[in-house]
Structure formats: C-alpha cells, structure tokens
C-alpha cells in the first residue's frame, strides 16, 4: 500500500513538473510569437536618409522571419541630429519587444564626445543587427567638372554645406574638407542627410555627402543625369586596418587619395589620427539596430535569429546591394564587436576633436 502511495505521489510530482515545463515552454512561445502584433522600428532621422533606407529595406524581410509575421512599421523621429529619437527610445519606449531602434554615426558621435544633450547609454542596448557602410561626397556639375580636372582649381570656392551639426556624423566630411584646405560654410540644424540632399538638389547648397545606402538610391540617379559629380568617398578598411577604396565605388578616390593629390604627401599628425579614429567609429561600424536590454532574452534572441536568417539568405547580396551596397552585416557576438568599435575610441582623439570643434565652430563640450 505504501509503495502504491509512493508511486502515485511520484507520478503526481512528475505530472506537476511536466505541467510546469509545458507552461514555461508555452510562455516562451507566447513571448516570441508576434502574431497580430505591430513592431515599431524607430529611425531618428527624416525619410530618405541612409538609416531610413536600411530600415525600409529590412522591415518587410523582418516581418517574414519573425514568428507570427507581425507588421513592422518604420517610424521616423528626426531632431537634434538623432539624439531626440535616441533619448526617447532610452527613456520612454516600452520594453516589451514592440520597439526597435536604428542608430548611426550621428548617434554614436555625440555619445563619444559627451554631448550634454545625450541622455542615452549604449550599455543599455542590445545589438540585434550591425552594418558597415560608406559615404560619398559630391558637387554640382560645373564644380564637379572643374574638380575632376584638378581639385586645386576649386579650393577657393565658397562652398555651402547643409549639416546636422559638427558633433554628428558630419564631423567626418567637415574635418576632411578642412584638412584639404577647402572653404566650407556649414548651415547647421538640418534634421537628416535627406534634407541636405534636397537642399543640394534645389541649389541652396553646393556640396553634399550621403551614406552609401542613400547615395545609391537617391544620388546615383542625379549622377546618371549629369546633375551631380562624385568627388571622393571616405573609403573602407581592409584586413590590416588601412583605408582603401570603397568596394561599392571602386572608381571614386578616397579622401586619403585626394589629400595626397592636393598636398603631395600622405596625411599624418593629430588631425589625421583623430579623423581616422572617428571614421572607424562612424562608418565601418556605423549602422546598428538595437533593443532595450530589459526586454525578455527570448524576444531579443528572436530578433537576432530573424536578422541572421535574412542576411543568411542565398540571394541576400543580390537583393540588398541596390539599397545597401555590399557591406558586412553582423548579428550575435559579431554585432556586439561592432558596438564596441563604434562606442570606444582613443581618448587622445576625443580630446583633439573637442579642441578642433571649439576653435572651428565655437562648440564646447
């Protein structure tokens, strides 16, 4: 009798354990099943820029890969060079997995420079996708044709550039053009690179640059019509850490090459070291999609797995190169390494840039 009672007790205990395990499993499935849900993908820039182009390319693919096939809606939240959207995401976005966020160099640089407007911390975010990118500077037809004959012919030109601000990603072209000896007057305060492109198209400014995704989709048609002439890229990093031509724009010289053409020597010194340090933080490790670390690990893993499936598709390069260019995409540990590169920088480079910002634009940080 005692043995029967013991068997019944053990059977009941097993039943309880199995019930608990099933409940836990069902809970996990419930958390990662996005059926009937709407995912908000917040982009802290206006429509038409590089980060926006990337989000709009990936959004329908993400909806296909997530369990339950939710609606993935891209929401633009421009302002303050992306810090407005980043601050909102950090402090006000729900942590139930229904919101993901795109960062860019314009989000990283204020963080690196201790901009007082920054109320966010990358340590609070988990990266579910990281993308390298590039950038291309271009001129109107008349100036571009003269540049192609000899860049020195246009160094005395009064250039006007529409900028989000000198502590944003625009730091890269502003410092590069300064090092080349160009006279570039920035108009600060635009909400995104797309706004700068529109000002170029309408003739309000006569120099611009776009990140690769935006250049390929929005500027290349202007180049094809002869209305814009690309003059330089920022380049790409090879396996040894040297700056080489961007593989997506092999016929366009890099800033380094243009510097050598104008000055007759390789760039060196504090300005070059600072430029290169911020270039690495801003372009080879630029675009990231993040989610709050307080979100359930199962949901974070679901996003990472979905992005991994997307970039692992056999035809991914074929379908993405028109919109993104051919750049490295990463998830998991590789994505975390991207974040480390993008948010940690040599303190001496930060110090030099802060001094340059103060002298050049009266910006004190």
Domain 39-132+285-347 sits in CATH at 3.40.190.150
Instruction: Please give the structure tokens belonging to residue 219.
Output: 């500027």
How much is the pLDDT for 24?
A: 37
DSSP label at 44? Answer: S
- Checking if the pLDDT of 210 tops 80, the result is yes
pLDDT winner (highest mean) among 76-85, 179-188, 234-243: 179-188
pLDDT greater than 80 at residue 6: no
Distance CA 194, CA 329 (A): 23
- In degrees to the nearest 10, what's the CA dihedral of 40, 43, 49, 51? -90
Taking the CA atoms of 121, 126, 129 and 132 in sequence, report the sign of the dihedral they define: positive
Cα separation, 71 vs 35, in Å, equals 9
Percentage of the chain modeled with pLDDT above 70 = 92
Q: What are residue 160's phi and psi, to 5 degrees?
A: -125, 130
Q: Tell which wins on pLDDT, 238 or 142.
A: 142
Scored b (16 or more CB within 10 A) or e, 210-223 reads bbbbbbbbbbbebb
For the stretch 29-80, pLDDT in tens is: 345 899 999 999 999 988 888 889 889 999 999 999 999 999 999 999 998 8
* 283 or 352, higher pLDDT: 352
Distance from the Cα of residue 227 to its chain's centroid: 27
The pLDDT, as a whole number, for residue 356 is 97
Mean confidence (pLDDT) of the chain? 89
Here the tokens at position 61 are 């693919």
Q: Report whether pLDDT(315) > 90.
A: yes
CATH of domain 135-282+349-356: 3.40.190.10
Q: Pick from 102, 210, 112: which is nearest to 161 by CA?
A: 210
pLDDT at site 31: 56
For 11, phi then psi, to 5°, come to -60, -45
d(CA 279, CA 341): 11
**CA 210 – CA 256 distance, rounded (Å):** 18
Residues 159-169: what's their mean pLDDT? Answer: 94
Find out whether 138 and 205 touch, Cβ atoms under 8 Å.
no
Q: Would you list the domain boundaries of the chain?
A: 39-132+285-347, 135-282+349-356
Asked if the domains at 39-132+285-347 and 135-282+349-356 fall in one CATH topology, the answer is yes
**pLDDT at residue 163 is higher than 70:** yes
Indicate whether 129 pLDDT > 90.
yes
Average pLDDT in the 237-246 region?
86
Whole-model pTM: value is: 0.81
CB-based contacts of 275, cutoff 8 Å, min separation 6: 172, 175, 176, 179, 267
Number of helices and strands in the chain (H, E): 15, 13
**Mean pLDDT across the stretch 265-288?**
91
Q: Please report the pLDDT score of residue 27 as a whole number.
A: 39
Helices (H), the chain: 2-32, 50-65, 83-91, 105-112, 141-149, 171-180, 193-201, 212-214, 220-224, 255-263, 270-282, 297-311, 316-324, 332-343, 347-361
Lowest pLDDT segment from 27-41, 151-165, 263-277, 320-334:
27-41
Lowest mean pLDDT among 105-119, 176-190, 199-213: 105-119
Q: Contact 113/194 with Cβ under 8 angstroms? A: no
């Amino acid at each position: 009798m005692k043995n029967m009672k013991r068997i019944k007790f053990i059977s009941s205990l097993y039943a309880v354990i199995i019930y608990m395990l099933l409940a836990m499993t069902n809970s996990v499935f419930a958390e990662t099943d996005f059926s009937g849900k709407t995912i908000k993908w917040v982009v802290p820039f206006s429509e038409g820029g590089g980060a926006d182009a990337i989000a709009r390319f990936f959004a329908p693919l993400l909806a296909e890969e997530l369990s339950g096939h939710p609606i993935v809606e891209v929401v633009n939240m421009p302002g303050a060079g992306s810090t407005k959207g980043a601050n909102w995401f950090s402090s006000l976005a729900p942590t139930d997995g229904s919101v993901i966020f795109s960062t860019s160099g314009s989000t990283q640089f204020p963080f690196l420079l201790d901009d007082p407007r920054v109320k966010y911390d990358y340590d609070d975010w988990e990266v579910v996708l990281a993308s390298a990118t590039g950038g291309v500077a271009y001129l109107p037809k008349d100036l571009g044709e003269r540049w192609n004959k000899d860049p020195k012919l246009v160094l005395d030109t009064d250039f006007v550039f529409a900028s989000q601000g000198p502590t944003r990603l625009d730091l890269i072209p502003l410092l590069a053009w300064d090092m080349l000896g160009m006279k570039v007057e920035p108009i600060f305060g635009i909400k995104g690179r797309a706004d700068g492109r529109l000002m170029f198209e309408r003739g309000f400014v006569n120099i611009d640059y776009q990140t690769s995704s935006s250049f390929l989709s929005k500027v290349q048609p202007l180049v094809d019509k002869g209305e814009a002439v690309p003059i330089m890229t920022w380049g790409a990093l090879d396996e040894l850490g040297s700056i080489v031509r961007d593989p997506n724009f092999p016929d366009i010289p890099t800033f380094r090459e243009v510097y050598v053409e104008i000055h007759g020597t390789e760039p060196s010194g504090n300005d070059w070291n600072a430029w290169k340090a911020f270039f690495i933080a801003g372009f080879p490790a630029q675009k990231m999609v993040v989610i709050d670390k307080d979100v359930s690990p199962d949901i974070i893993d679901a996003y990472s797995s979905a992005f991994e499936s997307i970039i692992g598709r056999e035809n991914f390069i074929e379908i993405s190169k028109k919109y993104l260019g051919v750049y490295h995409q990463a998830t998991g540990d590789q994505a975390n390494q991207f974040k480390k590169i993008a948010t940690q920088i040599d303190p001496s480079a930060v110090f030099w840039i802060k001094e340059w910002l103060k002298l050049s634009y009266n910006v004190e940080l």
